Chain A
Amino acid sequence: MTRNLSGRRCTRCELVTVPGEPFGCERCGARREEHVDAEFDSAGTVHGIAVVYRHAREEPPTPFTVVEVRLDAGPVVRTRLVGSQLESAGIGSRVVGTRIDGRVNMVLEGETTP
């Protein structure tokens, strides 16, 4: 489990982005020099969910589950949901980040990292 996600915060309009926006703010246009590094708690709520049965690449093996998560800190991220109780996950489920091979995935809150 990893509580921390790295991102950026725009000092002009306060928009926060995960991963950090590298070029300029989509909301107000402020250049990157006006953005600062920020750390966010990875906990959030499932906002969209899909089981993927066909995928162009070999990794990850199908089926796998993709979630759109609204982080408590504001940003919305899309990544893979992993764990042993995927069938119980749905919109509104609480999730938290977990790092697998350096990549941030999500697990249902209370589940241990696989």
Chain B
Amino acid sequence: MIRNPLEARAAYVVGIGLHRYRPLSDQSYVELGLTAVRAALADAFDDPVEAWPRVDVAITGTALLGMAPTRAMLARLGASGLAMHQVENASASGSTAVAQAALSVASGQSDVALAIGIDKPAAWRVAAASADIPSLDGGLVAPFTHFALLASRYQQKFAVTDVEIAQVAVKNHRNGALNPYGHRQKERTLEEIMRDPISGPFTRLQCCPVGEGAAAVILASADAIERYGLDPVRCPRIIGSVARSQGFLDPGSDADSALTVDTARRTFDQAGIGPSDVDVLEVHDAFSVEELFYLEAMGFCGPGESVKRLAEGVWDIGGRCAVSPSGGLLAMGHPLGPTGTGQIVEITRQLRGEAGPRQQPGARYGVAHMVGLGAVCVMHVLERGAS
């Protein structure tokens, strides 16, 4: 029987910080990371320099930086000798860093744990691509074409048009225009979204930009919150944290949706809530149609219904559940490592009521969902801090 360690010892988000997501620059990753970590320390504690030695462990989620990036970065906060790990889990690297940091607190190994997501654009070296696993497609199926193939089946099955899919991007660019940390910060008309085809129904603005950035989340136990005199209202609790990988399915099945179905079911079971309780959802919308797939897979609506709900404004900020209020991967961006950690930053802002013009009124429960190449899926549920 698998036990949920978060039930025995809770983990809370006490500090959040970001470096803006943006196209590749000359700036060192160290500068990007320190910006996010210092912001998270300042958010959590009165004096970030004094508070830094309180952090027991740092876990860095990165897909592209290479070997041993963490100490070169964090030593510049004062080399405290804390434990350091690095996790690589493709697009879900930053989510996995948060999951591992939560586990560290829950297990009692640490009282204060730092999760960092960080990356700068670089050549992708995908292990399986050099593993002598043969395929017929000969590299023709880029990720956007993989999802274009799935989209074609979905569109035929539920009579969904290209324009209906593009409306996901209209919403997420509208949200992203309100996010000063986003890669793309411009509201777009449907006409603009529909320009510049890439693959299948996707256009350039329906594919996420992959740039650079950093995100940091500080997690702490209830003991640490009390010891350091932190305001519990500003500390959402992690009530669900689940990671899964794709199981075997019959050839031609919709494996991507099935993976999210499996992960979501376990995550909601662990959290003790359901999709109808969720006020804010950050979803893996690397390509516009994915948001529709995963909303249905997570049970936010029935199969084929998500475009209707989208048109009704159900997923808008101020609707029943704000979906990708940050702008999501499509607008806030997808710098790989930072993305999953950044989702927790956005949800924390929302649950604190500090999201400014992006604020979902009365947000109590927030869910973060990331998928990574392979495929893997990582989800978290956060509950507003107790007043």
Using a CB–CB distance below 8 Å, which chain A residues touch chain B?
18-20, 22-23, 26-27, 47-57, 60, 64, 66-68, 70, 74-80, 90-91, 103-104
8 Å CB interface, B141-200 against A: 141-142, 145, 148-153, 156, 197-200
B140 touches A54 (CB 8 A): no
Determine the chain A residues whose CB is within 8 A of the CB of B66 once the complex forms: none
Determine the chain A residues whose CB is within 8 A of the CB of B200 once the complex forms: 50-52
Given contacts A26-B248, A27-B248, A70-B251, contact A77 B132 (CB under 8 A): no
A56 touches B137 (CB 8 A): no
B252 touches A53 (CB 8 A): no
A49 touches B199 (CB 8 A): no
- Provide the bound-state CA to CA distance between A78 and B243, in Å: 28
Counting from the closest, the 9 A-B pairs by CB-CB distance are A50-B148, A48-B149, A50-B200, A19-B134, A76-B251, A76-B252, A53-B197, A78-B137, A79-B136
Q: A19-B134, A66-B149 are in contact. List 9 more A-B contacts (CB 8 A).
A: A20-B134, A26-B248, A49-B149, A50-B151, A66-B137, A70-B251, A76-B251, A77-B136, A79-B138
Does B135 interact with chain A (Cβ within 8 Å)?
A: yes
Does B139 interact with chain A (Cβ within 8 Å)?
A: yes
B152 touches A91 (CB 8 A): yes
B140 touches A66 (CB 8 A): yes
Q: Using an 8 Å CB-CB cutoff, how does the interface string of B282-304 with A read, 1 for contact, 0 for none?
A: 00000000000000000000000
Determine the chain B residues whose CB is within 8 A of the CB of A76 once the complex forms: 251-252
Determine the chain A residues whose CB is within 8 A of the CB of B248 once the complex forms: 26-27
Given contacts A47-B252, A54-B199, contact A78 B135 (CB under 8 A): yes
Given contacts A48-B153, A51-B199, A76-B252, contact A66 B136 (CB under 8 A): no
Determine the chain A residues whose CB is within 8 A of the CB of B136 once the complex forms: 18-19, 77-79, 103-104
Determine the chain A residues whose CB is within 8 A of the CB of B137 once the complex forms: 66, 77-80
- B292 to A: closest C-beta gap in Å: 16
Determine the chain A residues whose CB is within 8 A of the CB of B148 once the complex forms: 50, 52, 66
Residue of A with least CB distance to B253: A76
Does B133 interact with chain A (Cβ within 8 Å)?
A: yes
Determine the chain B residues whose CB is within 8 A of the CB of A47 once the complex forms: 153, 252
- A57 to B: closest C-beta gap in Å: 7
Contact residue among A51, A54, A66, A91 (Cβ-Cβ distance under 8 Å from B153):
A91
A23 touches B149 (CB 8 A): no
Determine the chain B residues whose CB is within 8 A of the CB of A18 once the complex forms: 136
B134 touches A91 (CB 8 A): no
Determine the chain B residues whose CB is within 8 A of the CB of A90 once the complex forms: 156
A52 touches B149 (CB 8 A): no
B145 touches A50 (CB 8 A): yes
- Provide the bound-state CA to CA distance between A103 and B200, in Å: 23
A66 touches B145 (CB 8 A): yes
Determine the chain A residues whose CB is within 8 A of the CB of B252 once the complex forms: 47, 68, 70, 76
- B202 to A: closest C-beta gap in Å: 9
B134 touches A22 (CB 8 A): yes
Residue of A with least CB distance to B199: A52
Given contacts A50-B149, A77-B136, contact A66 B156 (CB under 8 A): no
